[in-house]
Amino acid sequence: MRVSALAIGLILASSAQAGPPRKTTHHSAPATATKAHQIPESGTLNEADLVAIAKLHARAGGDEFSDDPTLAYVGREFTITLPRDALSISYNKETHTLQVATHAWDDSVDLEKDESSSSFVGQNAYGAKAQVTDFSGNDYGIWMPGHGYDRKAITYTTTGDASTARALSEAIRLRLSGRIVKAAGTYAEPDSAVMRRYLSSDATVDEPTALHVTGYYLATELTSADWIDERTGDVISSATISTP
């Protein structure tokens, strides 16, 4: 009989060898920061500003007596550079074609991860044991407009030899401009600019990794996209974005 249920509750209750979890925390923001980020009252917002706005909702969650603080930023414009892991990069050696694109099916882009991990030996009801890694915490970023089934990837394509393409693939970045909008749809928080998504999965014998992460993402409307060569700062291609 195949053992597949290794629920976290059973792990902690039945693993005599587990002991206290060994915890390692990973923060994308410096742990020594002592001053809260100040969101500018005017002008174009950047990545740090958007993260700070998303955190306003995370901290104010559950307050039924006050307006959601993120509503004050609806309509504010922003310009951000997407992290490298938000892009898909491929090279066709036969046609010498480099293609860089956003992940069309990804609803969100993480701008900051505040997650921690703990590791312990777990045991399920059948006596099977496994080394379990449990990830938990919060992610902050933007919610991409549209839906995965109709969202079009933002794509840059060029041709060149392999060495030239490799160098460009390491330097190219996507700069997005747009504005914050009121959240709507399945994951929208009521009367807010935030889309909230909770990712949860329990560990199994075959897959001994658990995930308990809440994502807070600002709903957006995109207006333009610029492909940037970080080596020079030059814009190598631009596009106007039409929101689905």
Range in 14-18, 64-68, 87-91, 224-228 with the lowest mean pLDDT: 14-18
Domain contains 31: no
Mean pLDDT for the chain?
84
Domain contains 187: yes
CA 206 – CA 200 distance, rounded (Å): 17
Question: Residue 4: pLDDT above 90?
Answer: no
Six token digits for residue 128 = 């099977």
Q: Report which of residues 176 and 201 the model is more confident about.
A: 176
Question: Which region, left, alpha or beta, applies to residue 195 given φ > 0 means left and ψ of -120 to 50 means alpha?
Answer: beta
Six token digits for residue 227 = 């492909």
Question: Residue 201: pLDDT above 70?
Answer: yes
Instruction: Over range 185-214, report the average pLDDT.
Output: 90
CA 225 – CA 80 distance, rounded (Å): 10
Domain contains 119: no
Domain count, the chain: 1
The pLDDT of residue 127 is 81
Residue 141's pLDDT band, with cuts at 50, 70 and 90, is: very high
Domain contains 50: yes
pLDDT digits (tens, 9 = 90+) for 147-185: 877 888 999 999 999 999 999 999 999 999 999 999 999
3-state secondary structure the chain: CCCCCCCHHHHHHHCCCCCCCEEEEEECCCCCCCCCCCCCCCCCECHHHHHHHHHHHHHHCCCCCCCCHHHHHCCCEEEEECCHHHEEEEEECCCCEEEEEECCCCCEEEEEEEEEEEEEEEECCCCCEEEEEEEEEEEEEEECCCCCCCCCCCEEEEECCHHHHHHHHHHEEEEEEEEECCCCCCCECCCCCEEEEEEEECCCCCCCEEEEEEEEEEEEEEEEEEEEECCCCEEEEEEECCCC
- Residues near 42 by Cβ (< 8 Å), separated by ≥ 6? none
Range of the domain at 108: 44-112+136-203+217-240
pLDDT digits (tens, 9 = 90+) for 27-75: 444 445 557 899 999 999 999 999 999 999 998 866 677 889 999 999 9
pTM, 2 dp = 0.79
Residue 124's pLDDT band, with cuts at 50, 70 and 90, is: confident
First to last CA, the chain: 48
pLDDT digits (tens, 9 = 90+) for 75-84: 999 999 999 9
103 in Cβ contact with 180 (< 8 Å): no
120: closest CA among 17, 5, 10, 26? 17
Question: Residue 140: pLDDT above 90?
Answer: yes
Domain contains 53: yes
Domain contains 62: yes
Name beta bridge partners: 195: 188, 217
The pLDDT of residue 243 is 59
Residue 244's pLDDT band, with cuts at 50, 70 and 90, is: low
- Residues near 67 by Cβ (< 8 Å), separated by ≥ 6? 191
Name beta bridge partners: 116: 25, 136
Instruction: Over range 88-114, report the average pLDDT.
Output: 95
Domain contains 29: no
Domain contains 163: yes
